[in-house]
A = this chain, B = another copy of it.
Amino acid sequence: MTKLSPADHIETAEIIAIGTELLLGQTLDTNSFYLSRKLSDLGINTFRRQVVGDHRERIYDAICQALEANDLVITTGGLGASQDDITVQVLAEISGKDLVEDSSVTAAIRKLYPDSDRPDFIIPRIPAGAKAFPNKNGTAPASLTTFLYKGKLVHVLVLPGPPSENIPLFEEQVIPYLAQYSSASFIHRYVRMIGIGEYKMEQELKDLIAGQTNPTIAPYASEGEVLLRISQRLEEGDTDKTQALIDIIKERLGEYIYEIGTRSLEQVVAEKLHSQKLTCAFAESCTGGALSARLVSLPDTSKIFKGSIVSYASSVKKDLLGVDPEIIDKYGVVSAECARAMAENCRRLFKADLNLSVTGFAGPGGGTPENPPGTVYFAITVGDKVSVQRKFFSGNRQRIINYAVATALDLLRRSCAE
């Protein structure tokens, strides 16, 4: 194996996404976006990105062009199930390496595909001497090939196309491997907020964002949540200046901050429940199971999550959950009263410590003049107490559901004592 030495600093990278489906606009290329961000975290500059089709010559030209100006070239996709993994073949040609089987790759494939010892099953190969990163979620392995290109030491990282394969592979194996070769070191810290809009947040922090040089503050908004990344480039002898900045942000926007670090909202909630030995249960209507699913996406949830009733039909709210039919007749299913009754009945049935209900109009149809589509009621029981909230979210159906799920998780978080 060609081993990188610490002297082989990687300064700049180019990302090449391969796939005719990308050029036809059938698939959105989220890989390059993800990789750009991760490279930036590693202190590696992305010089350029390209998207090319599944076409031998164009892949060849793209890699060669990218190698002219960069130390590291990353490709995603263009790795077919078997004989048509053009990218690796092109790389073998450019680097002058043979393609060989790698035992760690073979082992991962045997595990994922128990019938892969059939003679017609073709084990994918990687360039000789490359560092292999076996894929636990698909056939095509990742590999990092290091070689001399026109007298310069270069590295080509080949990654599979599907984000479900690509991301775990990059997170778990590639980042730790690349981290040792980035020349500058960075401190990246994250402040995560919920319940505040991007606009309001930017107004409150205008002076800090505008006056940024080092550390810098970069805001990112996703549905219902806002993330600030504070980055400081550390040269030798520099001291950490990020905490001072975080202290100012906490002073101004503390009430919205749920995490200073890398945990997701559901992770913060789950860890609070675990540490306080609390259980929760849900009665979901308009979120249709999405709230439960987000919590269950984490492992080891059985100690903190009892279960939920997705009471989508009105009859289920009455018969199975036990909401008084009079409440529904008088106030409707999207009402503070119905939300309250759903949470109370959730508690009666599941006997969890925290019982939360969500009922609303996710749209596009439905709604009333008082409660138009986008209106969502939340109720939560903590001991004998029930509290109810009404929120209004705009946007399409999926956005309203995502906002409602984030808001429900935040309500759970706030209901756990510190």
Contacts and interface: CB of A to CB of B under 8 A. Distances in A.
Given A49-B51, A50-B51, A296-B312, 14 more contacts: A23-B45, A23-B49, A28-B30, A48-B62, A112-B394, A136-B395, A168-B396, A288-B305, A289-B290, A297-B397, A297-B398, A297-B401, A299-B362, A307-B312
Query: How many identical subunits does the complex contain?
Result: 2
B40 A24 contact: yes
B33 A199 contact: no
A84 to B, nearest CB: 9
Contacts of A275: none
A37 B62 contact: no
A363 interface: yes
Given A33-B29, A300-B365, A164 B50 contact: no
Contact of A312 (B112, B305, B402): B305
Interface string A367-389: 00000000000000000000000
Contacts of A307: 309-313, 316, 320
B297 A137 contact: no
A293 interface: yes
A51 B47 CA distance: 9
A249 interface: no
Contacts of A51: 32, 48-50
A64 interface: no
Contacts of A24: 36-37, 40, 46, 218
Closest 5 CB pairs of A and B: A288-B296, A25-B37, A289-B289, A289-B292, A25-B36
Q: Is the interface of A mostly helix, strand, loop or mixed?
A: mixed
B296 A302 contact: no
Interface of A: 20-30, 32-40, 45-54, 58, 62, 65, 80-82, 111-113, 120-121, 136-139, 162, 164, 168, 198-199, 202-203, 218, 220-223, 229, 282, 284, 286-293, 295-297, 299-302, 305-313, 315-316, 320, 349-350, 362-365, 394-399, 401-402
A188 to B, nearest CB: 8
Contacts of A81: 198-199, 202
A157 to B, nearest CB: 16
A136 B396 contact: yes
Given A300-B365, A307-B316, A308-B289, A23 B48 contact: yes
A50 B383 CA distance: 55
A273 B24 CA distance: 33
B398 A218 contact: no
Contacts of A112: 394-395
Given A202-B82, A222-B162, A38 B21 contact: no
